[in-house]
Amino acid sequence: MQFSFCAGLFNGMPGKAFCTRRVGGETPIKMTSEEHPIPLLAPYRMGNFHLSHRIVLAPLTRQRSFNNVPQPHAILYYSQRTTKGGLLITEATGVSETAQGYPHTPGGIFFCQIWHVGRVSNQDFQPHGQAPISSTERPLTPQLRSNGLDMAHFSTPRRLRTDEIPSIVNDFRLAARNAMEAGFDGVEIHGAHGYLLEQFMKDQVNDRIDHYGGSLENRCRFALEIVEAVTNEIGADKVGIRLSPFAGYAEAADSNPKSLALYMAKSLNEYGILYCHMVEPRMVKPGEKQECPHSLLPIRKAFNGTFIAAGGYGREDGNKAVAEGRADLIAYGRLFLANPDLPTRFEVDAPLNKYNRETFYIRDPVVGYTDYPFLERDP
């Protein structure tokens, strides 16, 4: 699988990406935001990509695909949130022929997030009803769904054999190739939120005794092998990764998250990837800010490429983070979901639409998806 029960599969036949345009460049440089009155709106050069602002659409699971294929309403959803020179990251998704006819409009930079859920699954979602795969045989306990009402139940996973791991690495490589052939500008490897890569990286999940378990180096080996395979396939200048070392999503916590984060940041430098997208330590649980002694600043200093921070940011603290050099770019999820013109609203400091949590994951192709209003502007 390459990979998503949320929004499509890579089936070896790439489709067409939507709302993308490659923007050229030569020498990677970072443009200062110090002189811009609104740091989030200062231009930035990320490798070969010229960004017109620093507000990123975070990857958001929306569950609006049918039969694992994105539908035309996904085109509208992403188009609404596209600005020329703005970076968008898809939900963990594949590409489809339903997107034909919409590339290169209207100038956004579009990265496809690729993932594997590992044990965060159920046999009903697996081929032939087989057990989900993971670093471990320990199952997740039932979890309250994001709607706050229903419980999600997970099947007992099967521990991957050591000799099976290269095939999973290759799945990520093929997914990255297909994304590029489909017209995406790059890929983001999903290494966060308790999914398969974190099930290897985090010591509260990984109980292996082979060279993919035990030490920090061993636990990070799988993720770094994926990074290496993907960069070799499509080029390091088109690869990012998302990490949440401080979080405990899906019962995936680590006893020393700062060491994990620093080890990954320094190791990623060896591959020269374009960006590292990291979730703030305060976001221990989805959608909940908590007081936390940790900071991303040491990790930001350790990583040589573009550093994207995510986790409950608003306009004021996003501007402050960029102005103080704690992040190059800020990823917005729920605010961007509810405000398709978020950069414009931040520019004029306009009121924001309130998001409706009850419509985050419903199947309706319009309600809570493409019906959030734009800011009314004087003619």
Residue 195 annotated to the active site: yes
Which structure tokens are listed for 371?
């019906």
Report the C-alpha gap between 308 and 292 in whole angstroms: 19
Bridge partners, residue 134, by sequence: 159
The pLDDT, as a whole number, for residue 309 is 98
* Half-sphere CA count of 45, side-chain side, radius 13 A: 11
- C-alpha distances (whole Å) from 164 to each of 64, 133, 159, 188 are 32, 10, 10, 23
Query: What is the longest distance spanned by two Cα atoms in the chain?
Result: 66
The pLDDT tens digits for 258-313 are 999 999 999 999 999 999 999 999 876 656 666 676 799 999 999 999 999 999 99
* Catalytic option among 78, 102, 195, 372: 195
Dihedral sign, Cα of residue 332, residue 187, residue 45, residue 223: positive
Statement: residue 362 has pLDDT above 80: no
Statement: residue 350 has pLDDT above 50: yes
Nearest CA to 330 among 291, 371, 296? Answer: 296
The pLDDT tens digits for 195-251 are 999 999 999 999 999 999 999 999 999 999 999 999 999 999 999 999 999 999 999
The pLDDT, as a whole number, for residue 369 is 78
Write the DSSP string, 49-118: EEES-SEEE--------BTTB--HHHHHHHHHT--TT-EEE--S---BGGGTT-TT-S--EEEEEE---T
The pLDDT tens digits for 5-36 are 344 434 444 443 333 333 333 334 455 556 68
The helix-helix angle for 216-234 and 257-269 (nearest 10°) equals: 30
* The overall pTM is greater than 0.85: yes
Q: Which domains does the chain have, with CATH numbers?
A: 39-359 (3.20.20.70)
